[in-house]
Structure 1
Amino acid sequence: MKLDLTGKIALVTGASGDLGRVMVRTLASCGADVVIHYNSNAAKAEALRAEVGAMGRRALIVQADITDQASIEAMKTAVEQQLGVVDIVVANAVIQYAWTSVLEQPAADYQGQFDSCVMQSVYLAKAFAPGMIARGQGGRFIGINTECAIQNFANQSAYVAGKRGMDGVYRVLAREIGEHGITVNQVAPGWTISDRDRDKGTERSESYESTVPLKRRGTDQEIANTVAFLASDLASFITGAYIPVAGGNVMPAI
């Protein structure tokens, strides 16, 4: 038994970012051809394309604004013309901003989180679900959520609001397109170790780790492994799920 994505086309938004790069490498290592979406970091996207090519997989770089429907539709057209119908959509991109209290957080930050979490999810569904449905071979939508959506800690309000809105879209979408064999799930990372931490030597945080049942932070590879699992046939009967990959730091209840 293995995660075999041979013959599949996967799109990862925010693919040039810390988590996105590892997701792309992991999906490609499982056999998928990959669409590498980026917003502004063309150099990292190009380097990632070279890595995927060295694995023997096809890779396409596409720049798009994930908060703009026309931009996402243009990305879909480019992908279908050059690679084909997308099988796996991973919504990973999100707007970054400085966190502060509800009373101090600029209104524009709430709008940015709504646009990059909720509307990105809507626009990706509108763009890519019809092709999956028409082809009749199923498909995968995987949203990257966060443990913060359950924690609701101080200074997280804009991020939590955006990700909770995303959660609503994904759960409803799971019901609406499930009859076509398309699964819709969310991966919710905890505070994850990435190359940024490795470069700075900031992998450890005793205060955070003390709250986690497994007593450590997770890694970018562990997040990517969960994405690859949900993208595979091994997860064919899982849909509508919010799956924390946070070492037990959050535990959704029944």
Structure 2
Amino acid sequence: MSTTRHELLHAFDLLLAPARFKDYGPNGLQVEGRTVVRKIVSGVTASRALIEAAIHAEADAIFVHHGLFWRGQDGRVTGWMKQRLGLLLGDDVNLFAYHLPLDAHPDLGNNAQLGLKLGLVAQPGSGGRFGEQELGFLGGRTDGASFPSAALLAIHIEKILGRPVTLVDGAHRPIKTIAWCTGGAQGHFEAAIAAGADAFITGEISEPQAHYAREMGVAYLACGHHATERYGAPAVAGHIAAQLGLAHEFIDIDNPA
């Protein structure tokens, strides 16, 4: 089975609705490749390693969360940019990238899929979202129980994600209401506090968040940018591939960040 580049772009846009978001870079088709698409490779970031692996896997299109182009970056095609573009253009491979739209999708996005992996579910309706452009999810365990402590929540996350968690335990109480926003969402911590969270799960931590956690009595868990954003891209690409009858393969390029 196959589809066209245009039909694939339309399917991604229809699912992820990128026009709804004010983003840091272009969403959609970032590099135009061959017209006919039979196989999609998904990954987190359009690194040279992923592009090389996708070419080796005979992909016609690559679908990622972190594309090549960002607002305010140097526009010259040199160094790593030349290498990545050279591979894509030389092998005529399409590159699709969706940033905030992929974070926000209520079922297949990074936040929804991370919650699914961790056994968390957002509250129904608008009460289950918080922060700028309602990117953050707010809810709790699927079984309705609390974690007895933030330390036990951290241990649970470490087992699922397979990596250490940085915990600033400002809560010192059972953890019932949990907010989460994948990747570099440390700037959403104050909104999570205002939304009533006992704990906030994200990818990264910056200096101010440790103080906010201790002063406001809310636990902060930094679980890795890449580690928290491994799940949305394969969920979306797999869904669209099944819808259009295409082959799909997720390739995870390890990243300690």
**TM-score, structure 1 as length reference:** 0.30
In proportion to residue count, which structure has more helix? 1
In proportion to residue count, which structure has more strand? 2
Which has the bigger relative contact order, CA under 8 A and spacing at least 6?
2
**TM-score, structure 2 as length reference:** 0.30
